Structure 1
Amino acid sequence: MEGINIELLVARVKEKYPEAKARIIHDNGKQFISKDFKSLVSLLELYETAARVCHPQSNGKLERFHSTLKTEHVRKTPYFSYEDAKEKMAQWIDFYNNGRLHGALLYLTPADYFEGRKESRLAERREKLHTADINRKALAATAAGLIHLISFPKKVQVLFGQDKYEWSGGGKIEMKIGLMLQSLSPLALLTIIQNFSFVTENSEKENLTMLMFIKENMPLLVVIVICAFWVIFSVYFYIRFKAFSYTGTKGGYDISVCKEDNEASLNFFLTLIVPLVIDNVSTWQGATVFFIILFLICVLLLKTKLFYANPILSILGYHVYEFKFISNKNEKAVCIGIGKMKENDTIKFKKISDNVYYVRGK
């Protein structure tokens, strides 16, 4: 760099920031030891510090800037001409001074320090952090309240029944509802297969636009999306049911009068699922009737014990038994379990609902 360029640069900086008490730290290049430069420094009343010879640490701030410039910009940016390089480097230096947060400056910008905004910026940051902390605590309290209300009450009244069950996140009420929804999942899958036929052309045999396609097939799309989520939930709930069946079981109980109900799942499938499959759900009227009937079936299953007649579990090898405990022969119970059971067996069980149990052999 020529000496005249150094002098012009210093003069322009002083003109832009006339009130600044600038200090120039430089090496011992001939530009900085010339008489003209010395005269300019004296004229502008600037402070001057020369770095020690062969000791870059004396000008460590500039050396660090050069390192950052090379790492974050030069090595990542292609230059196609000298003018292009000047423009791109000027843009990055502006970002360095006004946009880039510096760890050594409390994650503020150099402009914040130079223009006296340090305290106001830090105060603004503290206020934002305080507000965020309040919002986080409020959200956490709300979430904790909802979890306590929804998932962990000591006693919860069943919506469509009169019995109360203990529930602790994944307990008996959730299990009963989950088995009920899972038992109807074949209906959801068969409904998708039966009705997966969309209107794709208008009366003139022209392909429909996306908006027209959605408009023409809206009832069917709603039904299929709900049924698809229903099937996905059933897969998820089967995993939950497996986890439920392996935790918290009570063991060492003997049973009497054990009878397998071979027809429960078949009757459930033939009476509650097959008749609904033939319904046409491609119109709003058909879809409305379908969901009303489905809602009434859900109410029926929740008010009774029919939810245990689960065709999905039957296909997966589970059996339904009617039995009595030897310790309480007056109470008849229903159980779902894998494997065969017989009279006088000793079992482990976990309660699902009133007189409905998951059971496995000792």
Structure 2
Amino acid sequence: MNDNFRKINLYILSLGLLFAFFIIITIKFPNDCFNIKDLEDWKDILLSNVIPIICLIMLFYSFFAYKKFEFDLKGTTDIPFTVTKVESINYEHLTFLATYIIPLISFDFESVRQMIVLGLLLVVMGVIYIKTDLFYANPSLALLGFYIYKANGSFKNGIRDDIVIISREKFIVGQKVSYIKLDDRIYYAKGVN
């Protein structure tokens, strides 16, 4: 269950950029007759900004998910493995951004039907990304300075080929790596000094 929770968090984190765009597109500012002391004016502003408020909450959750990954990695107890082959696959970030994030911005945010379709689409996309193990293709992580690698690793119980490593660090062959296993072939990792 913990692995699925991490995958869901990575997917939500990948939508962080989308949430920011949604806020910019949909936010409604108060008009000139807004009275800061009037409760009705505040109620009107909140009701006219439901989507930006939900997106802001999701942005905060994305930040929480990111911090949780950092915290989990510091407390990993698995024996580090040695990188035996490494190749950058950072283009995966752009694939997700161009294929999914950009087209979603074109939805009509004034239409309730389109908002329902958008919500369902995000859920279905998340399920597909998690089931197909593509949750690591994450433009938010790219903005935060993470790299994606396809690598081979020498673990305590043998060699594993074609694993995917998500990391803030650049890896080289022979480097020892501490990790959190997200999936049978996907690891969130950092170098061991």
TM-score range, shorter chain: 0.7 to 0.9
Distance in structure 2 (CA, Å) of the matches to 1:278 and 1:332? 36
Distance in structure 1 (CA, Å) of the matches to 2:176 and 2:114? 50
Q: How does 1:8-27 map to 2 (within 5 A)?
A: none
Which of 300, 309, 316 aligns to 2:144? It is 316
Which of 100, 122, 135 aligns to 1:307? It is 135
Structure number, greater radius of gyration: 1
1:328 aligned partner, one-letter code: I
Quick check: 1:281–1:290 contact (8 Å CA) kept in 2?
A: no
**If each structure's strand is expressed as a fraction of its own residues, which one has the higher value?**
2
Deviations 1:66-87 (A, max 9, x none): xxxxxxxxxxxxxxxxxxxxxx
Deviations 1:267-325 (A, max 9, x none): 11111111111212122122112112212111112212221122222122211101122
Distance in structure 2 (CA, Å) of the matches to 1:211 and 1:287? 24
Which of 1, 5, 11 aligns to 1:180? It is 11
The residue aligned with 1:168 is none
The residue aligned with 2:22 is 191
The residue aligned with 1:254 is 82
Q: Does 1:358 align with 2:188?
A: yes
2:146 aligned partner, one-letter code: Y
Q: Does 1:242 align with 2:70?
A: yes
Quick check: 2:28–2:49 contact (8 Å CA) kept in 1?
A: no
- The structure whose RCO (Cα within 8 Å, separation 6+) is larger is 2
2:51 aligned partner, one-letter code: V
Quick check: 1:347–1:360 contact (8 Å CA) kept in 2?
A: yes
Q: Does 1:231 align with 2:62?
A: no
Deviations 1:321-349 (A, max 9, x none): 011223324x4211111211122322222
Distance in structure 2 (CA, Å) of the matches to 1:284 and 1:212? 20
Distance in structure 1 (CA, Å) of the matches to 2:148 and 2:77? 18
Distance in structure 1 (CA, Å) of the matches to 2:77 and 2:148? 18
| TM-score for the superposition, normalised by structure 2 | 0.82
Q: How does 1:1-362 map to 2 (within 5 A)?
A: 156=1, 171-197=2-28, 213=44, 221-326=49-154, 327-329=158-160, 331-362=161-192
Distance in structure 2 (CA, Å) of the matches to 1:213 and 1:261? 47
Distance in structure 2 (CA, Å) of the matches to 1:355 and 1:361? 18
Shift of 1:252: 4.0
Distance in structure 2 (CA, Å) of the matches to 1:279 and 1:245? 37
**If each structure's helix is expressed as a fraction of its own residues, which one has the higher value?**
1
After TM superposition, the runs of 4+ consecutive aligned structure 1 residues lying more than 6 A away are none
Q: Residues 286, 197 of structure 1: CA spacing in aligned structure 2 closer, same or farther, 3 A cutoff?
A: farther
Distance in structure 2 (CA, Å) of the matches to 1:360 and 1:290? 35
Q: Residues 226, 211 of structure 1: CA spacing in aligned structure 2 closer, same or farther, 3 A cutoff?
A: closer
Q: Percent identity between the aligned chains?
A: 26
Distance in structure 2 (CA, Å) of the matches to 1:226 and 1:339? 33
Shift of 1:249: 4.0
2:13 aligned partner, one-letter code: Q
Deviations 1:82-140 (A, max 9, x none): xxxxxxxxxxxxxxxxxxxxxxxxxxxxxxxxxxxxxxxxxxxxxxxxxxxxxxxxxxx
Distance in structure 2 (CA, Å) of the matches to 1:211 and 1:258? 54
Shift of 1:184: 0.7
Shift of 1:352: 1.6
Quick check: 1:320–1:334 contact (8 Å CA) kept in 2?
A: yes
The residue aligned with 1:90 is none
2:99 aligned partner, one-letter code: T
Structure 2: tracts of 5 or more residues without a match: 32-39
